[in-house]
Structure formats: structure tokens, C-alpha cells
Amino acid sequence: MRWILLLSLCLAPVLAAQQLKPGMEAPPIAAAPLDAAHPFPGWEAYRGKYVVVDFWATWCAPCLVGLEKTAALEKEFEGQPLRFVTVASDEMPRVKKYFAEKGLTLETYVEADDGLTAAAYGIHVVPAAAVVDREGHIVAVTPGANITSEMLHKLLNGEKTAAPAFERANDITWDKDEINWEDGVQPTLEVLIKPIAVTGSGYAYEPGSNRISGDGVPVFAMTMAAWQTDSFHMDVRDSLPKGRYRFAVVVPKGQEAELLPMFQDALERNFGFQTHWEEQERDVLVLNSDGTKTLPESTSNPLFQFERGKITFHRQTSAKLAEALPNWFQKVVVNETGLSGTYDFDLDYVANEPKVLTEELQQKYGVTLTPAKRKIRILVVEKQAPKGKS
């Protein structure tokens, strides 16, 4: 199944947990300490101080911006009854390397794959934050962006603070899980689009299947899903409607070729835009082989995923690699390697640090990225022409 993250919130692999409410006792931090000599001492050790817990990861770009903000807030509130702690949903070596490179000294704990601490706080996306009061009770569990200097000053002054809880989590196969037909029979053909407010965003589509569905998705991202493209291959000439939506499209088995065209037609009709493809010259990165490595043909089972700072492409073509790389380089990548087989690519990445990925590609696979200009196929999105006009 193809999973695509479409908004700035990053999925955190955590277990289900009860929703914490203000006034409830804060769960302990079960994650391993970045400084092995200082495990989590328990909330009693912080008594008399408020504590902000920043949940983040090196693979989440918004989290790194939030981490810089947390470090700045720690300096701003130095000497006041306020502490800052972070929990990284990541690997210990990656966090140690990142802290060393950035000169960070925040009290930090590193979450294992089980995500027990994040789960205990009911956190399923990052960046996120928990605020704990002077007695070890929850003040708020909230998106990280809500932790501001103004908010913390109000907290210390005993004023009411605004730190709204997360909306309920998105469900990218929502029509299977949340629609109960009275006769118990699922439709063989459906197109559903409805506005929604949820935390997180994404869609699920297995190429060649007879269904596609998503949740919490803006119109721009639904357009990418329907035309199976990305933002770097789009030219949006008029503003698209705002808001986020759930969608589900299903066609009968045997009519899979009609799925995406039906979705495309529904979007154009519902949101009043039209599309066409055209060739445009763009600044790109050219993926090439420097001849220093001979890549063995893959014997692995096919796998295409990127999560928690790892890119794992097994039994994939170099073209498929080029298709994915714009996620990290923010430019179209054109494959000119001449590699025609299927290969295994196992790479590390750090959000907002493309050089990490560039070095991995060259050192492990002899693959380079060079700036250039190329003509590429672009999806033009614009308002529908008035009736009677072309």
C-alpha cells in the first residue's frame, strides 16, 4: 500500500492510549536518557516548577524548527520556575549526532520503536508538546506550535492559557471504518468528498487497485493524489479552495482504469478548476552514476517506504528513487543514471539537511545529484473557463 504524508505534521509510530485531560497525573517518561548518567528522575524532582515536554524527531522538518524554538525558550526563561525537556521519537545515535552538530544541551530522552511515552500522553503526531504543572499534573497536551513565549508568561503569571488539544486522529480508510450502511452492503461504486477537521493528513492507494481514500487532505494534496503527481510537477495558476477534506473513491472490480479519472472529474466539478499537462523548463537535479560503484541486482522482496529517518527501497529502479527524492531536495529529480535493473537502496536522512542524503547516495551507491535545467511534464491547474469559452 502506498502511504503519503501530505501535511506538515509527521506521523509518530505510537500505541493507542487514553486521552489525557488537564488535571490528570502526568505519566512518567519511559524513554532512555540521552545522557545515560541521568535517567528520568520522576515528576517529584521537578516539584515547584512547570515543565514543557517537546516531542520531536530528526526526520520531521517542523519538529526541528520547534526544537530550535524550545532551546530559545529555555534561554529566555532561565532562572524562572520553568523547565524544558524533550522526547525524541528516533534512534539514539542520530539524536546524539544532531545535538553535537547543533550544540544543543536540552534535557532529552530518546523513544524506542514502541513509542511508550508518546502513547502514554496520547500523542500520535509530532511536533507535539505536553505541559506539566508544579505538582506533576497535566496542564495541556497540544500541537507544538501552541507553545509560545506569550503562553508561557501567562502560565507563570497564573493567567488562563490557550493550548487546545489535538483534534482526533485522521483515518485514511475512514469509509471502511466509519460508514455503517443500514443494509450492511458496501457500495461497488462511490465518490465521497466531505470537509473534516482531524490531526494529520494522508491517503492510501495501491497502484492498480479499485479504491483510493484519504483524510484531513487539502484540495491541493487531493489533486496530487488524483493525478498521481507531486507539488514539484504542478503549476497552480489560481488559488484553490481552503479547508481539509475526507475522500473515498471506489469502482467495481475490473474497472480499475476508471478510478483515477473518476476522482479527477469529481475534484474538477466540486472545486471548479480544470487541468492540463504541458512541457515546461525547470531547474532540476540530475541523478547520475559516477561509475565508482557496481550495484548488484536486488534479490529482496519489493519494499518502498520512508519513515523515522530511514529510506528503504528494495528491488526498486533508479527511476523510482528519483521519483521519491524531491521530498528531501525540494526540486524535481531527473533520472539519467542509465541503470536499468532493480536495486536495494538503504539510506538515512535528516529533515532540512539534504547534504546527509547526498553524501549517503554517493558514498554507498556512487550516485550523484547535479543542478541542471530540463523540460519536464507539468500539471497546470487553473480556474474553469466560463461556459461558452475555451
pLDDT tens, position by position, 3-24: 344 434 455 544 334 577 899 9
Strand order in the sheet with 343-348: 303-307, 310-316, 343-348
Q: How many domains does the chain have?
A: 3
Same-domain pairing of 101 and 197 = no
Say what the pTM is. 0.72
Same-domain pairing of 45 and 68 = yes
Among 216, 242, 271, where does a domain finish?
Answer: 271
In a domain, 351, yes or no: yes
Q: Which residues does residue 129 pair with via DSSP β-bridges, in sequence order?
A: 54, 142
Task: State the cell numbers at 207.
Answer: 497502484
**Which residue has cell 544541551?**
105
In a domain, 389, yes or no: no
CA dihedral 146, 148, 154, 158 (to 10 degrees): 60
How far apart CA 301 and CA 305 sit, in angstroms, is 13
The pairs formed by 180-186 with CB atoms below 8 angstroms and a separation of 24 or more are: none
pLDDT bracket for residue 339 (50, 70, 90): very high
How far apart CA 72 and CA 75 sit, in angstroms, is 5
Nearest C-alpha neighbor of 233 from the set 282, 274, 188: 282
Same-domain pairing of 198 and 146 = no
pLDDT above 50: residue 371: yes
Same-domain pairing of 262 and 285 = no
Please tell me the predicted confidence (pLDDT) of residue 388: 61
Same-domain pairing of 295 and 236 = no
pLDDT tens, position by position, 41-63: 999 999 999 999 999 999 888 89
**Above pLDDT 70, what percent of the chain?**
94
Range of the domain at 320: 281-378
DSSP state at residue 188:
S
Asked if 98 contacts 68 with a C-beta cutoff of 8 angstroms, the reply is no
Same-domain pairing of 341 and 209 = no
Cis amide prior to 127 (ω within 30 degrees): yes
**15: Cβ–Cβ under 8 A, 6 or more apart, which residues?**
114, 115, 116, 119
In a domain, 256, yes or no: yes
Among 271, 305, 328, where does a domain finish?
Answer: 271
Which one-letter amino acid corresponds to residue 232? Answer: F
**133: Cβ–Cβ under 8 A, 6 or more apart, which residues?**
50, 139
